[in-house]
Structure 1
């Protein structure tokens, strides 16, 4: 019979594939920026924030911080590299005011990650305590990221239009949340279950709104560029 570890590995691989799809989803936006040689009305905030999120989850997935989370390590390492590339593209095609802001935020993130890594590895001597400390930090960042679509959902309710909330992205976020919740339940990990459980609820809410307001949507209305750029949410 197939054991729990094997099932969990398969689920984790599926989660890696879905998460990779979410990481690569901003590619059309970045291609548009490169083609226009300008960031237009797009904002770097989602990518800059996801750099920190991926960095912390990469650290969490390391075997001396948490056990049996290699697949969390792999996808977030890939995501970290991709988000750094996205941020660099924004940096290249931004004006100096925006570049200074990106530099400041990234510098703060690097300092924060360095402090967390140093303190955890130097002062915390057991894997279980490291898991708890880093896991709590990761939950805080993930919850903050899952709150970001609230502005779009509020706009959907107010305008009775889902034009500003891409269906496929909401569906992918739902699948991503469910997969990682299952992964964490197979070998109990509350630090993965909690943020992805909240992410699943957020995605379900978006899908319900989509069903409710689909018929009242004016698809001919022009979409502001800043609203077509979506943040990436994952474990």
Structure 2
């Protein structure tokens, strides 16, 4: 297979794999829609998806990588807006949602203005120079997006069980990173290469953890989600008993003061003259 043919094949594979990964939040969003409540669903992955998609979309346009980068991440832009709209609709804390979205939009707006002004040549930079700057921000946005679920790895290490790991999603992400890493290597794009090497390494580490703490051989222990402290409970009981004893059986005694107190002289009987 020639180099051009390999680039074409992996360009198509990269675009398809990203679109598949883009649908991954849809299941949680559908649950939010059915339950009419966001529950424990965090907004951070959704605003990160919006920032990640928009910055990579601008980078793809300026770097002239119209497919799969510009076109696919443009779809990601619209998908993130749909997800956030549904999340906002059923959120009980809309003030927090608005602040999170507003912060993300401010960052996006600043970078968009820079991309437009720089692309038109008003910053005395070439188109390649502007795309290079956006490439760094694109990698940072990707870190925010893909590192959000890594909190589960701490749960695995803490409880010695890989039940927290969504194995199908890890395998899908593993394949996606491998495809994009290969595509980035074929076109010698170091922004794609560096970030996907990191994600590939994290996915490998996650799979190793899953193998070590396989849920079949390392199930969660009973009471894993409770924080019991026997000593604290004993102290509380003792304290409660002491309070109850005082309140029911306590009697007041007026003890004599140890201080000097003058004594009254006895009254002498009156003599009759």
TM range (shorter): 0.7 to 0.9
Task: Give the alignment's TM-score, normalised by structure 1.
Answer: 0.85
Which structure's CA Rg is the greater one? 2
Q: Secondary structure at the match of 1:57?
A: helix
Return the alpha-carbon distance in structure 2 between the equivalents of residues 73 and 221 of structure 1.
48
**Which residue of structure 2 lines up, in the alignment, with residue 4 of structure 1?**
3
Task: Work out whether residues 55 and 108 of structure 2, in 8 Å CA contact, stay in contact via their aligned partners in 1.
Answer: no
Shift, 1:124, TM fit: 4.5
Is residue 33 of structure 2 the alignment partner of residue 34 of structure 1? yes
Greater relative CO, 1 or 2 (CA 8 Å, sep 6+) = 1
**Which residue of structure 2 lines up, in the alignment, with residue 227 of structure 1?**
none
**Which residue of structure 2 lines up, in the alignment, with residue 91 of structure 1?**
88
**Which residue of structure 2 lines up, in the alignment, with residue 233 of structure 1?**
none
Shift, 1:157, TM fit: 0.9
Task: Work out whether residues 146 and 198 of structure 1, in 8 Å CA contact, stay in contact via their aligned partners in 2.
Answer: no
Which of the residues 216, 219, 224 maps onto 2:218?
Answer: 216
**Which residue of structure 2 lines up, in the alignment, with residue 58 of structure 1?**
57
**Which residue of structure 2 lines up, in the alignment, with residue 157 of structure 1?**
157
Q: Secondary structure at the match of 2:220?
A: coil
Return the alpha-carbon distance in structure 2 between the equivalents of residues 108 and 161 of structure 1.
40
What root-mean-square deviation, in Å, do the aligned CA atoms of Structure 1 and Structure 2 show? Answer: 2.3
**Which residue of structure 2 lines up, in the alignment, with residue 16 of structure 1?**
15
**Structural mapping, 1:42-121, within 5 Å:** 42-62=41-61, 65-95=62-92, 96-121=94-119
Return the alpha-carbon distance in structure 1 between the equivalents of residues 158 and 117 of structure 2.
46
State the number of aligned residues.
220
Unaligned 5+ segments in structure 2 are 226-273
Return the alpha-carbon distance in structure 1 between the equivalents of residues 107 and 101 of structure 2.
10
Return the alpha-carbon distance in structure 1 between the equivalents of residues 9 and 141 of structure 2.
26
Return the alpha-carbon distance in structure 2 between the equivalents of residues 31 and 99 of structure 1.
18
> For each residue in 1:176-211, what CA deviation from the matched residue of structure 2 results, as whole angstroms up to 9, or x when unmatched?
111011101111110111111111111111111111
**Which residue of structure 2 lines up, in the alignment, with residue 182 of structure 1?**
182
Task: Work out whether residues 159 and 224 of structure 2, in 8 Å CA contact, stay in contact via their aligned partners in 1.
Answer: no
> For each residue in 1:109-159, what CA deviation from the matched residue of structure 2 results, as whole angstroms up to 9, or x when unmatched?
342333332342231542321232111221222233343333211111111
